[in-house]
A and B are shown apart, each in its own frame.
Chain A
Amino acid sequence: MTSEVLTIKGLSKSFSGRLVLDDVSLSVHSGTITAIIGQSGGGKTTLLRCLNLLEQPDRGRIDVNGTPIFEDGVVCRDLPKLRRSVGMVFQRFNLFPHLTAVENVMLAPLDAGVAEDEALRRAVELLRRVRLAHRATAYPEQMSGGEQQRVAIARALALKPSVLLFDEPTSSLDPESTGEVLKVMQELAADGMTMVLVTHELAFAGDVAHHVVFVDGGRIVEEGEPRQVLGSPREQRTREFLTHFSREGS
């Protein structure tokens, strides 16, 4: 495999005395897609949010592109710079409602010092990539959920991050919008974008992911190739989750 974009070692985190991440270690390689699955409240979203330090772990170490960004409570000095190399897409889109789609995509590059013309050119190009150029001057509230999430993906890509994090990107979408968003993600995957996604879309995870991680009770219970983890899980806990999930899903 190629170089490691993200490396986590011994990450722990508790919220008011309750341990939500318990000694978690994980590697994400360049150009791969890692899907984190598991029950709600099992710690998968917290794990994802630790990767760009929206949530600060208590212990452990995180490296991004070989540079330590967090080590046992000490955060790297240039946090904004780290975050520009780690893009994030949220469950509830979190687009800036006071700005149009194209301005949403341009805001962070302009803030980071990219020239106006260049930021605009790149934003339009990204909106074309998510097939929303025709909605460039629309405001978030004028767009469907699927359109908003695709703008959010374009926004996260605007700073040319080396990895994209997705926090249940289709959980608040209807099936049609979900399809649109998954299609864009599939295209990104085909382009070799490194991605980490927390998802309930097990079929999608099975299709596109290179690596599936099952998190439960704040620990990585099982990880490996999707065919193995989703198809013939070794752990009892994983089997229970998958049985329960497929029963709920059908």
Chain B
Amino acid sequence: MDLKEKLVSSFMAFEGQIDVDAPVHEIRSEAIKVFEQKGFPTKKEESWKYTSLNALLKNDYTVFPKEESALQFQDVKKYFLHEIDSYKIVFVDGIYSSYLSETSHEGLDVCLMSAALSKPKYRLIIDNYFNKIAPKDDGLTALNTAFSREGAFINIPKGKVVEKPIQILHFSTGKESALMLQPRNLVVVGENAHVQIIERHQSLTENPVLTNSVTEIHANRNSIVDYYKIQNDAQTASLIDNTYIAQKKHSHASVHTFSLGGNITRNNLNFYHLDERIDSTLKGITIIGDKQHVDHSTLVHHAQPNCESHQDYKGIYADKSTGVFNGKVLVDKIAQKTNAFQQNNNILIDDRAVINTKPQLEIFADDVKCSHGCTIGQLDEEALFYLQSRGIPSKEARALLMYGFANNVLASVKIDEVKKRIKKLIAMKLNVNIGFEL
């Protein structure tokens, strides 16, 4: 039985575990029909031209993890941003771990999707926001919607500035021989509110994991949303991340994606502008090796006038790794005075590394400033020579240059601890110790 059939048939079993009378269940039933019809994307689809899921779909995944697995904080401490105080929502094998988490209902809601979907007091929010921006016709998103039960639910009320960042962590323990996870997150940021979120997926064993995550973010008027995705997973873990962000007037939303590991990573990042004077930032650093595969597929839909978007993705590809960048800027007829900027720079380190990039513009308005730039190249030999002539060994010199290359993206990271962590990860990745702060 292939994975699609298995998932469709297990939907019945899933219905046995949840409240089928809840209004969201109708959404789920609709979604499973869409998935049944669309299935998993294939390379024949334009947006999946360079990324094949076939190898992943062969595994016999467990769809429902059976029991909660206990993890000792000491064992997983290094995956947390433990240096700073933060809210934490932690899932182990898809099940909420109250022991590792630190949630809150005081002045804001940092809690669970399962609670939000079942408790009457969240009814209004769920009705207004749940599955509103995620496309109804996308197979993978529909699959997630059909099985939506658990994930992070973050609701920041009007005017609230969240004083500490919120961390969302997903661990998989490898108790199942192969595990498929489908976390569903909803973030609602009220008017004038401000929130910072860090998300990470981590597999702790060699057993294959496939995560198909959907996150919906609603940024209301004047709100500021800062989202960081740290992807440095085990070689056997794959991630399909679908993030949808709807922005209202004067809101600022930024998503930084750091893809430093994992088997196949696909980031579908979509921004929708619902009103004027919106600012969107999409930035990413990808440094991978081995046979890793990272695919960034971004969409910024400028549907209103006077908005801005900035995209900047840097990639360094070693060994037999493959990088894909598929950036799309869509400017509607009425979206005059749009300012859209898109940049994608890549460095290939080894002969077997591959990069496929497609920065795409679709513009229907005439009074706009839209540009994109894309480069593929190598480290500057002369710069390397310069550093070496000053006594910096070749390896370190290369690392320094790569730091410099990626630094544009790091510069806009607003949480210092995240910045430090990423630098550390990059240093580890490049196998160097430069010995001073950059």
| A associates with B | no
Q: Interface residues, chain A, CB within 8 Å of chain B?
A: none
Q: Could you tell me which B residues sit within 8 Å of A by CB distance?
A: none
